[in-house]
Amino acid sequence: MTFTLPDFPPLDPQLAARLRDRIDGKAKPPGSLGRLEDLAVQIGLVQGTETPRVERVQALVFAGDHGLNQDGVSAYPSAVTAAMVATFLAGRASVNALAQACGVEVRVVDAGVDADLAAHPGLIEAKVRRGTRNAAAEPAMTVGEVDLALQRGARIAAEAPADALVIGEMGIGNSASAALLMCRLAPAPLDECIGAGAGHDAEGMARKRAVLARAAARSDAAGPLEVLRQFGGLEIAMMAGAFLGGAAAGKLMLVDGFISTAAALVAVRAGPGLAPRLVFAHASAERGHRTLLAALDARPLIDLSMRLGEGTGGVLAAPMLRAAARLMSETASLDDVLSGRLGS
């Protein structure tokens, strides 16, 4: 393993106190803007400044295929992954529509799509291999593949030209992989981690549970990167690297839904000190997500009963980051209002 985990020192408690005093001193009753004030303080801490700024936000949609789908853990064939990548690049997916409305740029990252994708200005080519192996029968990735995915994800996030990054995904079968990661790293009983994903009838859910039980019984892996190697997806591994690399570069990292949170769980377990640097965008309706959030002691910003993925929840939360930063940096203080120093 050559990927070096970043060192995350504790956030500055003295800066935290100054930021809290600053937000309490604005021209409003203390605490009257609720969690938006907490978010403003968090942004200032992550950026290391009393005048935080969030303007450019980019959504990185990591895409990859899963060998687990050979056993039918999804209601859809793996070819849908490549088809959805084409839809993202055409600007016609749900995340594109929401991103346009929220002023967020969308880039797609080919982490491990089982297809040869044509070059496109909106596509970042980072493919490690064409899909993972079937985790129900063998490790999903080699040590070298995990290492490469982490490295590439960290580099992409660190170099992204944005103040904040939404980490989203696309990969048929990836809710199955995320369930296995959650089971080992939350930890939680496997059945509580398994949801419908992109949609299943009763027969499909029974098949998904049986396949994942077989996969879980195959390996007793417990360490975060070994669990990732055994059960993860290439897009999930690259997302974990992105959380680590982006946070180390001082960027605000927005966690999306169930799969994104599973990648964040891997990153947090591997990189102590990362968690306070993450912003959890929304509570997904996918079964297991609230338990997963609880394992990370995370409070999502919004709850719209969404379960699509793609970064959609993170995109919708992006304007809240901009608003919180402007609240801290641009709102007049109560002293200025009372003293008349604001001018005409």
Is 310 a residue of the active site?
Answer: yes
Instruction: Kindly state the DSSP code that residue 26 receives in the 8-state scheme.
Output: B
Amino acid at 119: A
Instruction: Kindly state the DSSP code that residue 8 receives in the 8-state scheme.
Output: -
DSSP bridge pairs for 105: 58
Choosing from 203, 286, 310, 330, the catalytic residue is 310
Measured in whole angstroms, how far is the alpha carbon of residue 332 from the centre of its chain?
Answer: 34
Which helix (DSSP H) or strand (DSSP E) does residue 111 occupy? Answer: strand 104-112
Beta-carbon contacts of 34 under 8 Å, excluding residues fewer than 6 positions away, are none
Q: What angle do CA 292, 180, 68 make, to 5 degrees?
A: 135
SS3 of residue 62 by DSSP: strand
What is the spatial distance between Cα 105 and Cα 112, in angstroms, rounded to a whole number?
Answer: 22
Task: Give catalytic residue positions.
Answer: 310
